[in-house]
């Protein structure tokens, strides 16, 4: 379908047209708009269009008002919220919250220490630590050695016997 | 004229300001001062005075009846909490309606819902029916016709950008003035007028498109006028 109408109003007259529609335009402004409407078909069509929208919108239903008890309900809600805020705290409440803070801090410190220890154990042995263990071996006497298994016990007994004979 | 209901005035001996001699704005101002100094009756009176408009504003923005009361209660709760910080440079009503608009937008954002969503589009028969109803000089009187027209119009409004729909509903249906809308929405008065006028054009364009796509000629006066530039 081809466009038949070009009802877009002149931008400088839109606000005045809205005023005119609401019956709020008078005096010189009304006369000036009247003159303009005689010569501008677009504004005249847009005005007719806008007037039609008023007729269309009369079908819409206004929002129903509140029930008679609404204000009382609001005040009751306000009072209950105020009472909840005013409710006195128990005697032990500050101590309990302090204890919880200590417990949380201690748990955090413990977790950090465990993490540090695990990481330290997992780290590869340094040259110094290897040498230290070797030095310790040099000065460890046979008698200081502790057998780790039954087989080692038997071997040590056999070695001792062999030495005595 | 005294706007304070007699029952409330009787319950509120601490309302010392002679309300009958003051304008509504001045009365609000006095009630706010008393509410700020801890008089709950004064705040209850403010709730009663503004509850209707708060409901209208919430309804105009959300178009959801089921959450209307919850949102309105939340508005007054927030107003009560912030009242001590309200310096009365603006009118109480403007301040309260701004809280209402913010609460509605928060609600929409939190729930991630659009104000009202119709799943299905209008059928040809429905478009024709709406045109028939709209062409009548008077609004339909039968409850069924009224309900049908309302439903069809809601579907039409659903096709509009959210801002257009809210402006049209708040102005034409809920009765807010251009001045009030400008204050509530933090816009220039002229901007509101221009947006309203363009929104009117857009709803009629939607209407016309529905009619032309269903092959009907508009019976409704004025419905045939306007842009049709994007119809090929």
List helix spans (H) across chain A.
14-21, 27-39, 41-57, 70-86, 93-122, 127-139, 150-164
Mean pLDDT of chain A: 81
Is the domain of B107 the same as that of B11?
Answer: yes
Any domain includes B166: yes
Indicate if B105 and B197 belong to the same structural domain: no
Query: Contact at 8 Å (CB) between A63 and B169?
Result: no
Closest residue on chain B to A69 (Cα):
B48
Flag whether A32 is in a domain. yes
Let me know whether A24 and A53 are in one domain. yes
Residue B135 has pLDDT above 70, yes or no: no
Q: How many domains does chain A have?
A: 3
- Indicate if A37 and A48 belong to the same structural domain: yes
Asked if residue B136 and residue B99 are part of one domain, the reply reads no
Model confidence, pTM? 0.66
Q: Average pLDDT for residues B149-159, to the nearest whole number? A: 82
Among chain A residues, the shortest Cα distance to B131 is held by A56
Residues B101, B33, single domain; the answer is yes
Give residue B159's pLDDT: 84
Alpha carbons B28 and B217: distance in angstroms, whole number: 52
Pick A82 or A164 by higher pLDDT: A82
In a domain, residue A84? The reply is: no
String of DSSP letters for chain B = ---S-HHHHHH-TT--S-GGGS-HHHHHHHHHHHHHTT-HHHHHHHHHHHHHHHHHHHHHHH--STTHHHHHHHHHHHHHHHGGG--SSS-HHHHHHHHHHHHHHHHHHHHT--S---SSPPPHHHHHHHHHHHHSSS---SHHHHHHHHHHHHHHHHTS-HHHHHHHIIIIIS---HHHHHHHTT--HHHHHHHHHHHHHHHHHHHHHHHHHTTPPP-STTTT-S--TT--
Backbone angles phi, psi at A126, to 5 degrees: -85, 165
Residues of A with CB below 8 A from B225's CB?
Answer: 5, 7, 45-46, 48-49, 52
Give the range with max mean pLDDT: A52-56, A96-100, B23-27, B47-51.
B47-51
Residue B199 pLDDT > 90 = yes
Q: At what angle do helices B189-213 and B143-158 cross, to 10 degrees?
A: 110
**Domain presence at residue B220:** no
Respond yes or no on whether ipTM tops 0.90.
no
The residue among B69, B137, B227 with the most chain A CBs within 10 A of its CB, best to mutate, is: B227
The shortest C-alpha distance from B153 to chain A (Å) reads: 7
Cβ-Cβ contacts under 8 Å, A1 against chain B: 212, 228, 231-232
Mean pLDDT of chain B: 79
Q: Do B172 and A54 touch (CB under 8 A)?
A: yes
User: In this structure, is residue B190 part of a structural domain?
Assistant: yes
B219 against A118, higher pLDDT? A118
On the question of pLDDT at B130 being above 60, the answer is yes
Q: Is residue A74 part of a domain?
A: no
What per-residue confidence (pLDDT) applies to B121?
61
A113 and A145 assigned to the same domain:
no
Q: Do A3 and B44 touch (CB under 8 A)?
A: no
Q: What pLDDT, on the 0 to 100 scale, is given for residue A7?
A: 57
- Asked whether residue A68 is assigned to any structural domain, the reply reads no
Residues B100 and B48 both lie in one domain: yes
Q: What is the distance between the alpha carbons of residues B6 and A162, in angstroms, rounded to a whole number?
A: 121
Query: Tell me, what's the pLDDT at A73?
Result: 95
Smallest CA–CA distance from A2 into chain B, residue: B232
Cα maximum dimension of chain B = 71
Domain contains B229? no
The answer as to whether B116 is a domain residue is no
Residues B12-39: tens digit of each pLDDT = 444 444 455 458 889 999 999 999 999 9
Q: What is the CATH number of the domain that holds B30?
A: 1.10.1740.10
Give me the domain span that covers residue B143: 124-213
Minimal C-alpha gap between A18 and chain B (Å): 6
Give the H/E segment covering residue A87.
none
Query: Residue B131: pLDDT band by 50, 70, 90 thresholds?
Result: low
Q: Which residues of A touch B232 (CB under 8 A)?
A: 1
pLDDT band per the 50, 70, 90 thresholds, residue B143: confident
B61: in domain = yes
CA B2 remoteness from chain centre: 26
**pLDDT given for residue B200 in this prediction:** 94
State whether B56 and A63 contact (CB < 8 Å): yes
Task: Check whether residue B105 and residue B137 sit in a common domain.
Answer: no
- Indicate if B104 and B23 belong to the same structural domain: yes
Q: Rounded to an integer, what distance in angstroms lies between the CA atom of residue B64 and that of residue B116?
A: 7
Handedness of CA B42, B44, B47, B48 (dihedral sign): negative
Give residue A109's domain range: 94-123
Cβ within 8 Å, pair A9-B68:
no
The residue among B70, B87, B111 that closes a domain is B111
- Looking at B111, B134, B154, the residue that finishes a domain is B111
CATH at B141? 1.10.10.10
Same domain, A22 and A53: yes
Q: How many domains does chain B have?
A: 2
B11 inside domain: yes
Per-residue confidence (pLDDT) for residue B93, from 0 to 100 = 94
Cα–Cα distance for residue pair B184/B29, rounded to 1 Å: 18
Q: Please give the residue that has the higher pLDDT: either B202 or A93.
A: B202
| Same domain membership, residue B13 and residue B105 | yes
């Amino acid at each position: 379908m081809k466009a038949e109408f070009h009802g877009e109003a002149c931008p400088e007259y839109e606000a005045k047209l809205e005023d005119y529609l609401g019956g709020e335009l008078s005096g010189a402004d009304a006369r000036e708009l009247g003159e303009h409407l005689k010569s501008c078909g677009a504004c005249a069509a847009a005005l007719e269009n806008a007037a039609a929208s008023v007729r269309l919108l009369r079908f819409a239903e206004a929002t129903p008002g509140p029930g008679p008890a609404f204000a009382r309900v609001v005040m009751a809600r306000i009072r209950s919220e105020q009472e909840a805020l005013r409710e006195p705290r128990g005697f032990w409440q500050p101590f309990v919250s302090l204890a919880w803070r200590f417990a949380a801090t201690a748990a955090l410190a413990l977790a950090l220490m465990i993490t540090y220890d695990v990481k330290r154990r997992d780290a590869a042995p340094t040259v110094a630590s290897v040498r230290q263990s070797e030095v310790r071996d040099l000065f460890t006497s046979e008698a200081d050695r502790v057998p780790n298994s039954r087989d080692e016990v038997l071997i040590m007994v056999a070695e001792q016997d062999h030495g005595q004979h | 004229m005294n706007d304070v209901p007699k029952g409330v005035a009787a319950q509120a001996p601490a309302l010392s300001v002679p309300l009958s001699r003051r304008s509504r704005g001045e009365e609000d101002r006095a009630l706010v001062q008393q509410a700020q100094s801890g008089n709950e009756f004064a705040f209850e009176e403010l709730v009663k005075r503004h509850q209707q408009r708060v409901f209208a504003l919430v309804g105009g923005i959300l178009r959801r009846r089921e959450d209307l009361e919850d949102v309105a209660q939340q508005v007054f709760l927030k107003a009560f909490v912030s009242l001590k910080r309200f310096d009365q440079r603006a009118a109480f009503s403007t301040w309260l309606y701004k809280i209402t608009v913010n609460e509605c937008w928060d609600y929409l954002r939190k729930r991630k819902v659009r104000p009202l969503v119709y799943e299905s589009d209008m059928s040809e028969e429905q478009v024709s029916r709406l045109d028939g109803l709209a062409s009548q000089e008077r609004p339909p009187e039968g409850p069924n016709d009224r309900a049908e027209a309302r439903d069809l119009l809601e579907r039409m409004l659903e096709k509009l950008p959210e801002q257009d729909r809210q402006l049209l509903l708040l102005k034409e249906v809920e009765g807010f003035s251009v001045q009030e809308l400008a204050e509530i929405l933090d816009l220039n008065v002229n901007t509101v007028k221009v947006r309203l006028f363009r929104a009117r054009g857009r709803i009629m364009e939607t209407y016309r498109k529905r009619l032309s796509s269903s092959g009907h000629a508009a019976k409704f006066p004025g419905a045939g006028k306007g842009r049709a530039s994007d119809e090929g």
